[in-house]
Amino acid sequence: MLYFGLIYIFKKLRCGSFYFAVAVCHDQLHVEETQDTFERLFSCEICGKISSRKSHLTVHMRTHTGEKPFPCKICGKAFGQKGHLNIHIRTHTGRSFTCRICGKGFSRKGGLDVHMRIHTGEKPFSCTICGKNYGEKGVLNVHMRIHTGERPFSCMICRKAYAQKGHLTVHMRTHTDERPFSCTLCGKSFHSKDNHLRSHTGEKPFTCTTCGKSYRQKMGLIRHMKNHTGEKPFSCTTCGKSYREKVALIDHLRTHTGEKPFTCSTCGKSYAKKFTLIYHMRTHTGEKPFTCTACGMSFTQRFYLTCHMKSHTGEKPFTCTACGKSYRDKGYLTFHMKSHTDEKPFTCTACGKSYRHKVCLTVHMRSHTGEKPFQCTTCGKTSQMCAVRTSDVR
């Protein structure tokens, strides 16, 4: 007897114990049906989920493929299951279940029951690992993936995996370059509709309970909280350096591999980090999206605007412990501190000369490559450095 992709459970009639056997490839599996009873289970080849019915597995596979074969004839919205379509249809035919507190209507009683928990504050679903409570079982299931590390939604193009289907949907737009959400204030288009409007309103709803600092995005608060805990769970296996976020570790690893996967479509220059490419692209477009409300001066990066704003307030919160000199920005203080330590961590691979600052090494390297990226707009003369002599201007 030959079986493919099936798992059989054999139940001994006498003791009630279970035995598992998995059919792999073309191996034969012999069953003594006279002594054992068995139930066929179907296993998902992508995530390993087991179903007792093949039809259940077929429906489950659509969470990986994204297939939605049941479209609504009224609005065109499609669904992976017929039952979900039937529930959706009720939104067109009427909503018979109404919240007595706020008047919101629902097509299902279950939907109303879940909604009522917003008013009552009831959170009946608890995480058995960390004790956090939720109003919906589905939200708890998503939360549990933080502990299990499960990411069942995979991108078919780059294989990147996500814990939530919505995150995969947003990610897919980075491949298709689909930007379905347009801002009515500035006209910009986005892959996701969340967060951008707060850049206009200034709203920062996510506040740190420790120091009171607020953020526009929840992820910004999560990153910030690690400053208080000191948690750096992502370590480089090459040099041992640790990071608070996995994406920061991935960026760091490119300093060892030399990989620069982000390329400018205009001039062909490549970068190790995506945000560095975004900043670079503004040199071509001339875009300066960050504007000072005091003087109207605009900047290509928020960091530059933050530093500039301190020129109006006179604030210099970063002080050197060696000489007492103060700076507007932490980066400037770090730059200055190297003058006390005489540390020169940036070494030229061509001649061995060392520098305190990376920018100095970058300029020096041009003496080997002959690169002169800066051109005078008046006479056309090129230079290895951005500075132009007064004699040239004359």
- The DSSP code sequence of 44-55 is -TTT--EESSHH
- Residue range 87-134, pLDDT digits in tens: 777 777 665 678 888 888 777 788 888 888 888 888 888 999 888 888
Q: How many residues does the chain have?
A: 394
Predicted confidence at residue 40, as pLDDT, reads 58
**Structural domain containing residue 360:** 346-393
pTM: 0.38
Predicted confidence at residue 348, as pLDDT, reads 92
Residue 380 lies in a domain: yes
Residue 353 lies in a domain: yes
Round to whole Å and give the CA distance between 94 and 106.
8
Is 262:270 a contact under the CB 8 Å cutoff?
yes
Classified as helix, coil or strand, 115 is helix
H or E element in which residue 240 lies? none
Total of domains in the chain: 1
Residue 370 lies in a domain: yes
Round to whole Å and give the CA distance between 240 and 244.
13
- Token match 């503004």: residue? 282
Q: Which amino acid is at 39?
A: E
Angle (CA) 198 199 202, round 5°: 65
Residue 389 lies in a domain: yes
Round to whole Å and give the CA distance between 315 and 307.
10
- Residue range 247-305, pLDDT digits in tens: 888 888 988 998 888 899 889 989 888 888 888 888 888 888 888 888 989 888 887 88
Round to whole Å and give the CA distance between 356 and 334.
11
Predicted confidence at residue 94, as pLDDT, reads 62
Round to whole Å and give the CA distance between 253 and 96.
56
| pLDDT grade for 371, boundaries at 50, 70 and 90 | confident
Residue 379 lies in a domain: yes
For the chain, the distance separating the N- and C-terminal CA atoms, rounded to the nearest angstrom, is 92
Q: Which amino acid is at 78?
A: A
What CATH number is associated with residue 361?
3.30.160.60
Predicted confidence at residue 386, as pLDDT, reads 60
How many Cα neighbours within 13 Å face the side chain of 168? Answer: 19
Residue 81 lies in a domain: no
Closest CA relative to residue 43, chosen from 86, 3, 101: 3
Mean pLDDT of the chain: 78
Residue 32 lies in a domain: no
Residue 383 lies in a domain: yes
